[in-house]
């Protein structure tokens, strides 16, 4: 049985401040993918910004666990700005007609750099209701290895799955596959009306042994394909801490296997639990490869959010391979920077390539992306790399138009192979309000908070004080209390700032996509 990870190996890349023995380090080693932060681009030479949608929220819940349970700031590479922003619901325009998604745009002054502008791109997915929700063929793939017995992982797993089961209908079916040192089909396909049988199987789960995750994934897909019905929502739901230490453990090999199964029509959602040896980098890769979403449960309240309140978005995909491409007008924009989505960037040519995989968006989900824009004529040190001498043999031409940008979106039906295209052009005047909307102000406060936590090179004048001022003024009705909780988390992070010496160090984001162990020990 392994509940704790070993110490960091010599020569590995990390930001550990100490490497204590397991007895004095109650949270062990966790792995996050390291990546390079997006910089400013010149629309004359790089007119197109292309990326895949991502509505995962795991990074936000991980941050809350660090602040509340571990009383420390999260490692910089555990911060994914887009997942912080997308944790919250926003009041965006709803899709019209047969379109599964709608686009909403807004422009305002950038809170952390008053000479810049901040563009918000909001995407709202259609919400499936009642008869429009197809039956579900779900395969729960449950990690019952020894590491799941630590830090309440198994109890959170059971609680979350039982919440999901409570929402099952008679036409829905569930199978349960487990893995540890070996694999087992614990429960064959069972109708949602037989909740007691399903719950009894969940209650029987016990943690022990090593982690033969690759064999578990293979068996779960085999079980899902065994019960496959093209008229249903076929999905594997993997619940694990991501510590695969037996069998195929290479992220690339596991990604390739899961990606090869996408065409079968079986999607994969990943739900993380546990701490101390949590493998975030692995979990993110698997969810991306499996046409699914990725959530992290740090408490039963988060399980309620994911498994009950937002169950439609968790289970039902309304559009797959959703891509965004924005063309900025160089006569209006001197430079632009996409905030977040570093692991979802695409090449410009990928936008029209229907064979290129992209992200999925679920029923009722909203997605937000921010661009920081440099007005034409502004000389700014944060974008110094944009300034080069005029070219001798090429004449830069700008489109003399009031349009600020054109945004294009492509998506496929959940069972489709050919994408649809939507295109919208906007001027600055059309999307600038006298007063920024409540949703804009709150979402930008969340983005600013993420810039501080990741120690961004581009955080400008970002401060906890400004984040709190904006968030408090834009809390709104907040019926579920998530925005009020965010304000409390910012207050806690501000208190922790002086304790974590990482805040005074340069940004660590200089290398790209490397699995990085962190061992940060801070006591209040």
Nearest C-alpha neighbor of 446 from the set 485, 479, 495, 407: 485
First to last CA, the chain: 31
Cβ(220)–Cβ(240) below 8 Å: no
Distance CA 500, CA 524 (A): 10
Distance CA 29, CA 520 (A): 9
Q: Please tell me the least confidently modeled range out of 55-69, 346-360, 393-407.
A: 393-407
Distance CA 320, CA 346 (A): 15
Distance CA 436, CA 478 (A): 18
Distance CA 150, CA 277 (A): 10
Distance CA 344, CA 335 (A): 20
Taking residues 444-473, what's their average pLDDT?
97
Nearest C-alpha neighbor of 458 from the set 376, 335, 346, 334: 335
Nearest C-alpha neighbor of 299 from the set 443, 485, 167, 138: 485
Cβ(371)–Cβ(302) below 8 Å: no
What dihedral angle (degrees, nearest 10) is formed by the CA atoms of 136, 141, 144, 145? -160
Nearest C-alpha neighbor of 346 from the set 34, 32, 38: 38
For residue 103, the surrounding DSSP H or E stretch is strand 101-109
What is the three-state SS of 56-68? CCHHHHHHHHHHH
Structure tokens at 31: 């792995």
Taking residues 160-185, what's their average pLDDT?
92
Taking residues 320-348, what's their average pLDDT?
95
Cβ(380)–Cβ(374) below 8 Å: yes
Cβ(419)–Cβ(324) below 8 Å: no
Taking residues 403-409, what's their average pLDDT?
95
Structure tokens at 302: 């988060």
Taking residues 310-334, what's their average pLDDT?
91
Strand spans (E) along 376-513: 403-412, 420-427
HSE-up of residue 9 (Cα within 13 Å, Cβ side): 4
**So what's the pLDDT on residue 26?**
38
Reported confidence tier of residue 315, pLDDT bands at 50, 70, 90: confident
Structure tokens at 35: 């990546």
**What count of other Cβ atoms lies within 10 Å of the Cβ of residue 249?**
16
Cβ(522)–Cβ(492) below 8 Å: no
Structure tokens at 510: 């200089």
Cβ(119)–Cβ(427) below 8 Å: no
Distance CA 249, CA 214 (A): 7
Alpha-carbon distances of 218 from 42, 224, 393, rounded to whole Å:
45, 10, 57
Predicted confidence (pLDDT) per residue in 241-299, tens digit: 877 654 555 667 778 888 888 778 888 899 999 887 788 888 888 888 887 889 999 99
Q: What is the DSSP letter of 511?
A: S
All domains of the chain in start order, with CATH: 37-128+318-383+398-501 (2.60.40.1230), 135-314 (3.40.50.410)
At 331 the three-state DSSP class reads: coil
Backbone dihedral angles phi then psi of residue 94, each to the nearest 5 degrees: -85, 150
- Which residue do the tokens 């009950």 mark? 308
Give strand pairing partners of 183.
179
Reported confidence tier of residue 518, pLDDT bands at 50, 70, 90: very low
Reported confidence tier of residue 347, pLDDT bands at 50, 70, 90: very high
Give strand pairing partners of 409.
324, 422
**So what's the pLDDT on residue 210?**
76
**Degrees (nearest 5) of the Cα angle 217, 218, 224?**
85
Taking residues 134-147, what's their average pLDDT?
90
**So what's the pLDDT on residue 10?**
29
**Degrees (nearest 5) of the Cα angle 208, 209, 211?**
115
Q: What is the DSSP letter of 92?
A: P
What is the three-state SS of 130-149? HHHCCCEEEEEEEECCHHHH
Taking residues 181-202, what's their average pLDDT?
94
At 301 the three-state DSSP class reads: helix
């Amino acid at each position: 049985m392994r509940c704790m990870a070993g110490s960091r190996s010599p020569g590995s890349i990390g930001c550990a401040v100490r490497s204590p023995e397991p007895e004095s380090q109650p949270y062990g080693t966790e792995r996050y993918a390291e990546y390079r932060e997006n910089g400013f681009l010149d629309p004359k030479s790089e007119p197109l910004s292309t990326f895949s949608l991502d509505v995962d929220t795991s990074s936000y819940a991980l941050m809350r666990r660090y602040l509340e349970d571990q009383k420390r700031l999260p490692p910089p590479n555990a911060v994914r700005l887009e997942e912080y922003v997308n944790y919250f619901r926003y009041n965006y325009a709803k899709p019209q007609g047969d379109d599964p998604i709608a686009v909403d745009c807004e422009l305002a002054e950038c809170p952390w750099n008053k000479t810049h502008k901040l563009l918000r791109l909001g995407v709202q997915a259609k919400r499936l209701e009642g008869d429009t929700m197809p039956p579900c063929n779900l395969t729960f793939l449950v990690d019952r290895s020894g590491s799941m017995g630590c830090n309440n992982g198994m109890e959170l797993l059971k609680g979350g799955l039982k919440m999901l089961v409570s929402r099952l209908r008679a036409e829905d079916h569930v199978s349960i596959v487990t893995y540890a040192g070996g694999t087992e089909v614990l429960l064959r396909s069972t109708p949602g009306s037989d909740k007691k049988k399903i719950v009894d199987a969940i209650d029987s789960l016990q943690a022990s042994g090593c982690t033969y995750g690759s064999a578990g994934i293979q068996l779960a897909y085999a079980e899902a394909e065994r019960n496959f019905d093209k008229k249903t929502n076929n999905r594997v739901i993997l619940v694990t801490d991501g510590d695969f230490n037996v069998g195929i453990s290479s992220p690339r090999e596991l990604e390739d296997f899961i990606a090869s199964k996408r065409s079968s029509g079986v999607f994969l959602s990943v739900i993380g639990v546990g701490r101390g040896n949590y493998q975030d980098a692995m979990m993110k890769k698997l969810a991306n490869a499996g046409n699914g979403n990725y959530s992290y449960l740090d408490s039963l309240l988060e399980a309620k959010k994911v498994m009950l309140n937002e169950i439609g978005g968790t289970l039902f995909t309304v559009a797959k391979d959703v891509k965004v491409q924005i063309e900025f007008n160089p006569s209006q924009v001197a430079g632009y920077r996409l905030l977040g989505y570093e692991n979802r960037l695409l090449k410009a040519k990928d936008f029209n390539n229907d064979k290129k995989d992209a992200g999925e968006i679920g029923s009722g989900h909203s997605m937000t992306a921010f661009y920081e824009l440099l007005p034409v004529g502004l000389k700014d040190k944060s974008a110094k790399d944009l300034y080069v001498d005029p070219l001798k043999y090429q004449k830069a031409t700008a489109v003399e138009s009031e349009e600020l940008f054109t945004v294009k979106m492509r998506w496929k039906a959940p069972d489709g192979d050919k994408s649809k295209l939507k295109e919208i052009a906007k001027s600055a005047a059309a999307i600038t309000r006298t007063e920024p909307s409540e949703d804009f102000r709150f979402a930008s406060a969340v983005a600013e908070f993420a810039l501080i936590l990741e120690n961004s090179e581009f955080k400008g004048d970002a401060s906890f004080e400004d984040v709190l001022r904006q968030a408090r003024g834009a809390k709104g009705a907040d019926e579920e209390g998530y925005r009020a909780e965010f304000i409390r988390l910012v207050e806690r992070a501000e208190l922790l700032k002086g304790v974590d010496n990482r805040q005074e160090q340069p940004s660590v984001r200089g290398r790209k996509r490397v699995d990085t162990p962190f061992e940060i020990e801070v006591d209040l």
